[in-house]
């Protein structure tokens, strides 16, 4: 796999699937020097791992850019170790934003046509300023690159990375509801103006939602001031919100909007 250094002390970011179940981790820097590395923290749900190099050497770190500013059509450069060919650079454009392909729970990938192959996992996706706007994670079609690769956006990655460095684990917000898509039929029956939000299928006992009085059949329209257009947006927004925070949740029930105040719990991995 690949990775990149974000701190001169030798803190390395890569994918969780690159280092999962590894007995030894060796990081080769600049194609020549090798260092032993240990895991500071890893998170399978977002497929991110933070390592630290076992050395007193100083490194040149890269810095994160703002992935929210990345637009479709922007040029990007991927650097990594495809098929074990270290230090390979490929270029392309951003093909799409906010993609989910069903690999992990929290997916909001940047899609790019820069060639990403086996071994690129964990490497950086740079914008034209040389800032990292994504972590290259997945390819469609394991046979190799077909011009469709996926990167975790730096803004969501940073939240996970900061938590892994600080606590050695992630602390994600938790509502305690099972949700499903609001179809046109459901919207019609509930007299909602259009299919939007997330339909609550069931509520976990003693969960934050249960204590706040959320019921099965409610449609969550807004969470903490953010509109929920599609169901898949809700878990991502909730997970990014800090544990213990009191949030306003706008719900559609009995053909009208109501607000519930929910104190977020912590998602246990």
Question: What's the rounded Cα separation, in Å, for the pair 52 and 54?
Answer: 6
Region of 260 on the Ramachandran plot (φ > 0 left; ψ -120 to 50 alpha; else beta): beta
Question: What's the rounded Cα separation, in Å, for the pair 126 and 62?
Answer: 10
Comparing C-alpha atoms, which of 14, 2, 1, 86 is closest to residue 52?
Answer: 14
Both tokens assigned to 206: 């003693």
Question: What's the rounded Cα separation, in Å, for the pair 27 and 10?
Answer: 10
Both tokens assigned to 74: 């922007």
Catalytic residue among 2, 42, 46, 47: 47
Phi, psi of 50 (to 5 degrees): -115, 125
Assess whether 121 carries a catalytic annotation.
yes
Comparing C-alpha atoms, which of 208, 222, 223 is closest to residue 264?
Answer: 208
Question: What's the rounded Cα separation, in Å, for the pair 45 and 103?
Answer: 9
Catalytic residue among 42, 67, 115, 121: 121
Assess whether 47 carries a catalytic annotation.
yes
Place of tokens 């703002």: 66
Question: What's the rounded Cα separation, in Å, for the pair 110 and 133?
Answer: 9
Phi, psi of 187 (to 5 degrees): -60, -40
Catalytic residue among 17, 42, 115, 156: 17
Comparing C-alpha atoms, which of 79, 64, 93 is closest to residue 1?
Answer: 79
Determine which helix (DSSP H) or strand (DSSP E) holds 248, and give its type and residue range: strand 246-253
CB 227, CB 242: distance < 8 Å: no
- Residues involved in catalysis: 17, 47, 121
């Amino acid at each position: 796999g690949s990775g990149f250094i974000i701190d001169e002390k030798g803190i390395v970011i890569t994918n969780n699937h690159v280092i999962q179940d590894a007995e030894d981790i060796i990081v080769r820097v600049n194609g020549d020097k090798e260092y032993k590395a240990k895991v500071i923290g890893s998170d399978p749900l977002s497929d991110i791992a933070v390592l630290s190099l076992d050395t007193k050497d100083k490194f040149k770190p890269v810095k994160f850019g703002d992935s929210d500013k990345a637009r479709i059509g922007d040029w990007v450069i991927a650097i990594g170790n495809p098929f074990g060919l270290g230090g390979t650079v490929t270029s392309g454009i951003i093909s799409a934003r906010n993609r989910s392909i069903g690999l992990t729970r929290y997916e909001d990938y940047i899609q790019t046509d820069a060639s990403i192959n086996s071994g690129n996992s964990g490497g950086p996706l740079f914008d034209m300023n040389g800032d990292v706007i994504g972590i290259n994670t997945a390819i469609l079609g394991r046979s190799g690159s077909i011009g469709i690769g996926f990167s975790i956006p730096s803004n969501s990655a940073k939240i996970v990375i900061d938590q892994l460095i600080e606590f050695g684990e992630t602390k994600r917000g938790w509502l305690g509801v099972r949700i499903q898509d609001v179809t046109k039929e459901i919207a019609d029956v509930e007299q909602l103006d259009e299919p939007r939000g997330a339909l609550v299928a069931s509520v976990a006992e003693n969960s934050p939602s249960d204590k706040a009085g959320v019921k099965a059949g409610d449609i969550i329209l807004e969470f903490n001031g953010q509109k929920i257009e599609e169901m898949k947006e809700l878990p991502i927004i909730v997970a990014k919100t800090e544990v213990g925070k009191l949030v306003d949740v706008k719900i559609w029930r009995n053909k009208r909007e109501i607000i519930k105040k929910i104190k977020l719990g912590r998602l246990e991995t």
